[in-house]
Amino acid sequence: MMKQQFFLFLAVIVMISSVIEAGRGREFMSNLKEKLSGVKEKMKNS
């Protein structure tokens, strides 16, 4: 079980680093932060 989580984590890191290399790192991170804050707001309101 832990191995699967580790490989998933690794895949996410590779994906993020490839997006950053593509020159869209800042846009991607800001979009991600907006989505995360939106989710947090929904959790608070529910």
Distances from the Cα of 3 to the Cα of 9, 15, 20, 37, 44, angstroms: 10, 18, 26, 29, 33
Q: Which residue would you say has higher pLDDT here, 38 or 28?
A: 38
**How close are the terminal C-alpha atoms of the chain, in Å?**
31
Residues near 20 by beta carbon (within 8 Å), at least 6 away in sequence: 28
Measured distance CA(14)–CA(34) in Å, rounded: 21
The answer to whether the beta carbons of residues 28 and 19 sit under 8 Å apart is: yes
Q: pTM here? A: 0.41
**Residues 29-46: tens digit of each pLDDT:** 788 899 989 988 888 887
